[in-house]
Every structure is written in structure tokens, then in C-alpha cells.
Chain A
Amino acid sequence: MKLIKAIVKPHKLEDVKEALSEVGVDGMTVSEVKGFGRQKGHTEIYRGSEYTVDFLPKTMIETVVEDDIVEAAVQAIISAAKTGKIGDGKVFVLPVESAVRIRTDETGGEAL
């Protein structure tokens, strides 16, 4: 099992969700985060004073999937989230030690 962590532009969330659904991934956890990479922040000006905003709002999608569909899931995320403009985000893949479905106590792949 692998944990896929994807940080994408907020307006791409729907597209990513649908693309993941098409490759068989129907569960995920989504959070509103902020951050920056090469895409720096921006400045806003109010009443003659400059305010720098370093962090940009992003959406983080986390989903745990079986090893055999990791590649497909990552590709789905990338093609759905890509705009070609700076700030598209990143995808990380981490190993997962175990998983349990709370309601039924199922473990491993059955829990996903």
C-alpha cells in the first residue's frame, strides 16, 4: 500500500477527484493548505502601504491505494491537475505500514 500526497491548485480538486475515480480510487482525504515553491507570493497594496502575502492557498489530497494502481493514480492526478502555469503543485508517494477499517476491523487491502 502507498500513501499518495498531492498538492494541487484549489480549482483543480474536482478534476482530480473525477480522474482518480476513473482509475478505481474512490476514497480520499482533502485539506485546505497554504504554501509556496518556486511560485513566490504576491503583494497587495492598501492605502499606500505594501503587504506581502508569502503563502498561496492550495488543496492537499491524500489517498492510500494498493501498489498495483499507484502508477495509474499518480498519472491521473498529474494530467487532471496540470495547467502548465507555475504553481501546479507536486505529488509524493510514501510507503504505508498498515491500514484498518474502523467499522469492520478489516485490515490491509480490504481496509482501502
Chain B
Amino acid sequence: MKKILRLIPFLLLTIAPGFLFAQEVEVAAAAEAVDQVAEVATTLDSGNTAWMLTATVLVLFMTLPGLALFYGGLVRAQNVLSVLMHCFAIACLASVLWIACLYTFAFSDGCSWLGDLQHLGLRGITAASLSGDIPETVFIMFQMTFAIITPGLIVGAFVERMKFSAILLFTALWLILVYAPVTHWVWGGGWLQERGVIDLAGGIVVHATAGISALLLAKFVGPRADFPKKLHIPHSPGMVMIGASMLWVGWFGFNAGSQLAANESAGMTMLVTHISAAVASLTWMLIEWKKTGKPGLVGIVTGMVAGLASITPASGNVGPLGAVIIGFMAGFICYFACGIVKSKLKIDDTLDVFAVHGVGGIMGTLMVAILGTAAFGGTGVDDMVGQLATQLFALGVVVAWSAIATTLIVIVCKFTTGLRVDKEVEHTGLDQAEHGETAYHFE
């Protein structure tokens, strides 16, 4: 019985594309005609297109291999391949799901809760289709890379103990139930966007959703066997730094690319993104130096990630001063958040996804209401209190929905694939047991 239940999700995923491509729907045709009338007015801007093509490449690079290496170096040597595999497989899975149904759910008109099916399977989109003044294909690709990295972030919560099949199933369901709807609400013309929420590149859509889902998933999967008494040190701090460096470089595509244009806004976004990263890194480094006596490499790059996650929602509105403030707050708050989640909440969010991405993203999403005002050298925020209320409301709703959906998905996984590997497998490492490979052979 369990075997049949396990097959159902995978069958659905394989049968679904068949239906997508087979049908013509009248509503889609009518909507398309309206779209095309509207699009006749704009023409392709090759400068913007060139930048967006590049930004897409940079954001994919963040996942492959940036995030993969960043996480890979933090785990034990016997688990590094499993982490690289998670990131790679999730990238592939998210890509297929994106063109199958996620893009249409996220960015088609539909209602304020969810896009409709007009672009199911990218129906109706041709090489000539435009999204604003860039080809729609490029917009699809750019947004796809966000859908790729977001579930990739969650990997950090359950490394070294979650079953590969469960990870694939969780990712697929999470993208459909959490990522696509939230993207629609905030970026796809949905109800939060209509309320005026500010989230340039994903403080809410990427970091808050992934952060809270990671925290809950870590709780449901349970801690590593030796947590918290006996922990394993990162097997390759050098690999961590290499991955983190790729994240920094790629993040310019993530934030500046979210301006969807090669213009002055993109320039300012790039500048403030960088400032936040640098300030957060130094802040973390100095705190660690003071508290432990030694400034560590893993620490400084973690500070960088915190700074980048925090500036993500705010990078379209804050100025350099705002970036310095956000960077400082990120380095400070996320440093202590790591300790709180592990020792106070006693949750083994192994690679601190919530403490760094969740807390950072949430902080930045709130701070943009303050630092986006002219008083702080920002742009676009006139009503600080009103904006703060909107940001808070949006975060509340998204966090709540992510939590509910994650819980439901976990239940499905529990009864189909199962969540955890055997204790024995956990001790000897996932690489050999789940993937039949070993990372390091010393001969």
C-alpha cells in the first residue's frame, strides 16, 4: 500500500505535462489577444535584454555551484556529495515545474490569489512574446532561477539526514503550494502587490518563505543524531568561502536584475547590495573576534550572506546609508540568531537557514519602510508607518501560509516516502548509501 502511495505524486508529475500541452482553452486565447494588443505598444529594448540575459546567468550561478559549494563545505566529508546532489537535482526539478505550471500560477493574470492557466506549459508564448521591453522568454528564465534557488536554500535545514526521495517530493509540492502563490501575491500582480508591499528581489518571496519552511522542516525531520552534544566541524571551510564568494558575485544578478532594466535603478541597487554585504561581513567578523578570540572564515562569509539576504527586499529603495545600517544590523542580529535557534529553540536547522536567510530577509523587509524614506537617503517610501504596516502584514501572511503548507507537505512525505534515512546510514554518511559515490578517495 505504501508503495502505491509513494508512486502517486510521481505519476501525477509525469502525467500532468501531457494534459498541459493537449488542450486549448478559449479564455487563454482571449487573454492572449488582449496581451498582444497591449504589447504592440512596447518594443524590445536590447540593452535591458542584454542585462537580463546576463542577470539570469548570474542567478543560476548562485545555485550552481555557489550555494552547492557553500553548503557542501559545511557538512561532513561523507555527506558533501549528497548536498551537491540536492542543489543540482532541485535545480533541474524546479526548472521543469517552472515551465510546466509554476510560471503560469505565478505570473499569469488570473485572480489576486493565483495566476490562471493561460501559460500552462508556456502555452501561447513565442520567441517574439514580450514582457515589458524584454522577451518574455528571458523574463521566464530570470524568474525561473529564483524558483531554483529558493528551495535550494531550504536544503540547509535537513542536510545529513533527510531522504533524497523525500527531498524531491517536498521540493515539488513546496514550489506549487508556497513559492508560486507567494510569487503571484508579491510580484505577479497579486493582492499583496496591490496593497503596495515592497520586496524588490525576494526578502519575502525567497528568504522569508525558505527561512520559515526550513525551520519547521528541521523540527519535523528531527535533529542530527549527535545534536547538540557532538557536532562535526565543517569538512572544508575553504569550499564554504568559494561558494559564498560565488553567491556575492551572483547576487548582483539577483538584486540588480530584479530592476528588469539596465538603468540607474539597477546601478544603485548593485551599489547598496555590495555595501550591505561588506558591512555585514565586517560586523560579524568583529563580533566573532570579540566573543571567541579569533575571526573565522566561515563566520565572515556567513555575515556576508546575512547582509545580502537582508538587503534583498530593500535594494530598490534604500541608499548607501541605508545599506550600511542594514548590513550592520544583519551582521549583528543574524550572529545571535544562529545561537538562539540552536541552543534556545533547540532546533537543528543545521546550516542556519532561518537564522541567516529568514531573520535577515524579514529584517530587511521591515527596515525598507524606514530606510526607504528620503530622510535616510532612500527613495519611494513616503508614509513610513503605513509602509511598515503593509510590510508587517505581508510578512505575517506569507510566514503563516508557508508554515501551514510546509506542515501539510511534511505529512504527505511522511506517509509516502518517509522523511529520514536509517540511523546507520546517517552515521556512515549519505554519499555512499543514497548516491553510491564517495567524495574523497585517498590512495
Contacts and interface: CB of A to CB of B under 8 A. Distances in A.
Nearest to A44: B233
B292 A45 contact: yes
A48 B230 contact: no
A53 B292 CA distance: 16
A105 B303 CA distance: 63
Interface string A15-51: 0000000000000000000000000000011111111
A48 B228 CA distance: 12
Interface string B196-240: 000000000000000000000000000000001011111000000
Closest 5 CB pairs of A and B: A48-B339, A47-B338, A48-B338, A51-B233, A45-B292
Contact of B298 (A47, A50, A52, A53): A47
Nearest to B227: A49
Interface string B320-351: 00000000000000011011001100000000
B230 A46 contact: no
Interface residues of chain B: helix, strand, loop or mixed (majority): helix
A61 B298 CA distance: 35
Nearest to A43: B292
8 contacts: A44-B233, A46-B299, A47-B298, A47-B299, A49-B228, A49-B231, A49-B338, A49-B342
Interface of A: 44-53
Contacts, number: 33
Contacts of B230: 52
Given A46-B233, A46-B298, A48-B336, 15 more contacts: A44-B233, A45-B288, A45-B296, A46-B234, A46-B299, A47-B298, A47-B338, A47-B339, A48-B338, A48-B339, A49-B342, A49-B343, A50-B231, A51-B232, A53-B233
A95 B230 CA distance: 40
B339 A49 contact: yes
A52 B228 CA distance: 11
A47 B233 contact: no
B298 A51 contact: no
B302 interface: yes
A48 B335 contact: yes
Contacts of A49: 228, 231, 338-339, 342-343
B56 to A, nearest CB: 31
B352 interface: yes
Contacts of A53: 233
A47 B74 CA distance: 11
Contacts of A50: 231
B335 to A, nearest CB: 7
B72 to A, nearest CB: 15
Nearest to B340: A48
A47 B231 contact: no
A56 to B, nearest CB: 14
Nearest to B302: A47
B352 A47 contact: yes
A51 B339 contact: no
Nearest to B351: A47
A44 B302 CA distance: 16
B352 to A, nearest CB: 6
Nearest to A50: B231
Contacts of B338: 47-49
A21 B2 CA distance: 68
Contacts of A46: 233-234, 296, 298-299
**Which of A45, A47, A50 counts the most B-chain CB atoms under 10 A from its CB?**
A47
Contact of A48 (B232, B233, B342): B342
B277 to A, nearest CB: 17
B152 to A, nearest CB: 19
A107 B298 CA distance: 55
A50 B292 CA distance: 10
Interface string B283-297: 000001000100010
A47 B303 CA distance: 10
A44 B297 CA distance: 12
